[in-house]
Structure 1
Amino acid sequence: MTTPRTLVLWDIDHTLMNTAGVGRRAYADAFEVVASRPLEQVADMAGRTDWAITVDTLRMHGIEASTDLLRTFGDALARAFVTYESAVRENGRVLRGAREALEALAGRDDVVQSVLTGNMEPIAIGKLAAFDLGRFMDLRVGAFGMDHEDRAELVRLAQRRATDIYGQPFGRDNTVLVGDTRHDVQAGHLGGARVVAVATGASDRRTLLDAGAELVLDDLSDTPTVIRAILTPADR
């Protein structure tokens, strides 16, 4: 008999790691390649998809984002990130307790874990690889920032991918999103997941609770507490 599984979806930036501002530098490089002029400003990045950030950033500069332009910008962004991979390893860091939490969940038969991130897939995989975190996850299940503009749709996409691979339906009762912004909380609820928030990014505890997070942790440093928070349904 197949063990019922919980789908755990991790945000990356400021939940699992800090990448020392590499994202903004990659956007600046990609914009200059695509638009042939310097980047003046970048849209709000916290908890948003690369798709949404790119559309808003282009519009801030008077450029309408067509499907072809989005694809071109995404390719330029992925290439730009490659030049910063060593900077991620040298200047970035895994946040306290993140590796231990991932490893603890990876050892369980009743858990499938992956990422739900605003980063486009090659950038997400590059960030995880920089700190050897991808080995704890099934990245086939992950949902990424160029898969859809709306982060809530990424939750549904990850659930469908997990169902296709594991032959089990995933919905609100057995999906948990772990993230650090109000956008993560909202996406989880709209997409059909319980949310465990961590106050390790720009959003403080009060902001995350007001956004509707079922539970807010200060960080991931206490592994048993983190695992209980993720795997214990909110009504128990």
Structure 2
Amino acid sequence: MGKRLVLWDVDQTLLDIGRLGADIFATSFADCSGLTGHTATRGPGRTDWLAFDETCLANGVDPAEEAFRRFAAAQEAGVEARYAEIARFGRVLPGVPEILRRCAEHPDIVSSLLTGNTRRTAELKLAALGLDGLVDTALGGYGDDRRDRPELVGVARERVQRATGTSFTPDTTVLVGDTLNDVRAAQLGGARIVAVATGTASAADLRAAGAETVLGDLSDTEAVLAELLS
């Protein structure tokens, strides 16, 4: 059995905070753009950077990188300000604490995140719902690292190699996520995908996009662990 790098998506894969995330995004965008009202865009599994750029373009705003950095800081402040609401109204998805613990304890698994959230936002969400400390967030790939999600696979692998001295390949890197963009990130970034039908994409949609392994959720710990290590 070889070592595995397991990279977890956050929203709708590990946890669900309902409309709070969209509300915080909208408020932060309004604050940074100066628009009292704006056209929202949609697309599950986008990075925050891509979502910001697409929302800028939909509203005639210049999507400059410095503008995104201001937005990201505002959004992180918004998540902090609504931390208690996230803790109260958010929920951890079935099986998540146990599989994250098993991966954290497994000698052959390096477990981190690959998410469209910025690192700070991801860490706040995990902490609010009691999942902090179960993944090594310093080793992941985040929505403030790159605009395009597939590039985050390489970002995470480089961080892991620098931190641990272990080089992971497409065969030994596993993404776990719930969206078609997670499947695409694995295909283009170079990783295996374990898809979970816990978001808006159905199991059939995920398979049609190219996911060979699709689970209903993460509640069967032994089955999930077997897929990660296969």
**Range of TM-score over shorter length:** over 0.9
1:164 counterpart residue number: 162
Indicate conservation of the 8 Å contact 2:8/2:176, yes or no: yes
The alignment partner of 2:137 has SS state of: coil
Q: How many residues are treated as equivalent by the alignment? A: 230
Identity of aligned residues (%): 40
Indicate conservation of the 8 Å contact 1:156/1:191, yes or no: yes
Q: Deviations over 1:32-84 (max 9, x none)?
A: 21122234332224111000000001111110111221111111111112121
2:14 maps to 1:13:
no
2:68 counterpart residue number: 70
1:44 counterpart residue number: 42
2:111 counterpart residue number: 113
Letter in 2 for 1:75: A
The alignment partner of 2:27 has SS state of: helix
The alignment partner of 2:171 has SS state of: helix
Using structure 2 for the length normalisation, give the TM-score: 0.96
Give the counterpart of 2:77 among 76, 79, 85: 79
Distance 1:136 1:73 in 2: 28
Taking a change above 3 Å as real, the CA distance of residues 110 and 39 of structure 1, as seen in their structure-2 partners, is farther
Shift of 1:4: 5.1
Distance 2:173 2:222 in 1: 19
| Residue ranges of structure 2 left out of the alignment (5+ in a row) | none
1:25 counterpart residue number: 23
Distance 1:39 1:199 in 2: 33
Distance 2:157 2:94 in 1: 28
2:136 counterpart residue number: 138
Distance 1:89 1:223 in 2: 24
2:198 counterpart residue number: 200
Let me know the Cα RMSD of the aligned residues: 1.3
Using structure 1 for the length normalisation, give the TM-score: 0.94
Indicate conservation of the 8 Å contact 2:183/2:211, yes or no: yes
2:222 counterpart residue number: 224
The alignment partner of 1:135 has SS state of: coil
Distance 2:133 2:70 in 1: 30
The worse-fitting range, judged by mean Cα deviation, of 222-231 and 40-49 is 40-49
Q: Deviations over 1:80-108 (max 9, x none)?
A: 12121111110010001011110111111
Give the counterpart of 2:102 among 101, 104, 108: 104
1:122 counterpart residue number: 120
Distance 1:39 1:4 in 2: 52
Indicate conservation of the 8 Å contact 1:163/1:169, yes or no: yes
Distance 1:38 1:76 in 2: 16
Indicate conservation of the 8 Å contact 1:101/1:226, yes or no: yes
Indicate conservation of the 8 Å contact 1:106/1:113, yes or no: yes
The alignment partner of 1:208 has SS state of: helix
Shift of 1:113: 0.3
2:87 maps to 1:89:
yes
Question: Moved runs in structure 1, 4+ residues, more than 3 A?
Answer: none
Indicate conservation of the 8 Å contact 2:149/2:185, yes or no: yes
